[in-house]
Amino acid sequence: MSTHTERPLTERPLSLAAPSGIDRAAHHRLDEAWLAAAWSHPTTRVFVVSGGQVLIDDTPDGGTGIVMTPAFEAPVTETHRYFLGTDEDGVRYFALQKDALPGRMDQSARPAGLREAGLLLSPRDAGLMVHAVALENWQRMHRFCSRCGERTVVAAAGHIRRCPGCGAEHYPRTDPAVIMLVTDEHDRALLGRQVHWPEGRFSTLAGFVEPGESIEQSVVREVWEEAGVRVGEVEYVASQPWPFPYSLMLGFTARATTSEITVDGEEIEEARWFSREELRAAFASGEVLPPSGISIAARLVELWYGEPLPKAAA
């Protein structure tokens, strides 16, 4: 149970979405002279991103941080240098996309993806990593022009790819997805288990927004398609960047108008209604594993559950 010393659930920052203190300073992305000066400044900090991972290390204050270096110590790269923004002290941050993470002489640093690091890093470092990983995913998967097929080149400090053939400009892709905690007239929560999840892992339902569809319509459709449950009232809660590879999770609560469950069998293998008492007992016995703490799914369940969920692997 939560104690009086814990922050209310509604006030706790959401993983990967907490205010980072970083100004993305997008107006500098096309200013090559400014970017060159920023890169050469002695306070500038740089880190490498590769395959969705960065190097993290323990910090003197007992926390965990991204391993960063001054620009003059950073690995050489000709094009894949991404400007991420500045902090309130004027420090500029860059990410370098490389085929592999650099080695560390002291062997204390370790590679980590967002699912692990997101729960450990400060809001500043988590925000920088989300930005860098999202750009890297997009850059690796969109190297050719969708109009003419020509290989594109990096521009705007990593935030545009330009086609030298037809002149088209391509921007980072973000796929909106809805994720929802559905409750019924008895205030039970509807949780489902995807076919590829470990036995016992349950979470909220989710799905991508389709073309020509509002996000509210997407909530209604996804719940019906995955669980055969009709919902009426839909209320927005919060959003979370989810660069796996390039989604934006839009969190909702929804009120069911029917309760009979019929899973689709393709995405959702099992779905169940849980009262708080039933879910608490299932957590305690190990019958049900909670959603990952890094995901907005955990926050949506917590807001209904009324207390922090048991710890789950990221």
Which residues, in sequence order, are CB contacts of 174 under 8 Å at separation 6+? 134, 246, 247, 248
Work out the mean pLDDT of the chain and round it to a whole number.
Answer: 93
- Residue 5 is predicted with a pLDDT of 45
- Residue 79 is predicted with a pLDDT of 75
pLDDT in tens, 13-44: 788 998 899 999 999 999 999 999 999 999 99
Q: Which is it for strands 160-162 and 153-155: parallel, antiparallel or unpaired? A: antiparallel
Please state, in angstroms and rounded to a whole number, the distance separating the CA atoms of residues 86 and 25: 7
Say if residue 110's pLDDT is above 60. Answer: yes
Say if residue 7's pLDDT is above 80. Answer: no
Alpha helix ranges (H) inside the chain? 32-40, 114-117, 123-141, 215-227, 276-285, 296-305
Give the Å distances, CA to CA, from 145 to 63, 170, 193, 249. 42, 8, 38, 27
Could you tell me which residue, 19 or 7, shows the higher pLDDT?
A: 19
- Residue 4 is predicted with a pLDDT of 39
Tokens of 135: 């750009």
220 closest CA partner among 262, 191, 270, 255: 255
Say if residue 9's pLDDT is above 80. Answer: no
Q: Are 2 and 307 in contact (CB under 8 A)?
A: yes
Sign of the torsion angle spanned by Cα atoms 146, 149, 151, 155: negative
pLDDT in tens, 256-291: 999 999 998 888 999 999 999 999 999 999 999 999
Please state, in angstroms and rounded to a whole number, the distance separating the CA atoms of residues 224 and 190: 12
- Residue 1 is predicted with a pLDDT of 40
The answer to whether the pTM exceeds 0.85 is yes
Rounded mean pLDDT, 51-63: 94
Task: Report percent pLDDT > 70 for the chain.
Answer: 94
Please state, in angstroms and rounded to a whole number, the distance separating the CA atoms of residues 288 and 279: 8
- Residue 82 is predicted with a pLDDT of 97
- Residue 3 is predicted with a pLDDT of 41
Tokens of 49: 């991103």
Say if residue 163's pLDDT is above 70. Answer: yes
Q: Are 226 and 263 in contact (CB under 8 A)?
A: yes
Rounded mean pLDDT, 232-243: 96
Tally the C-alpha atoms within 13 A of residue 54's C-alpha that lie toward its C-beta: 34
Please state, in angstroms and rounded to a whole number, the distance separating the CA atoms of residues 121 and 112: 11
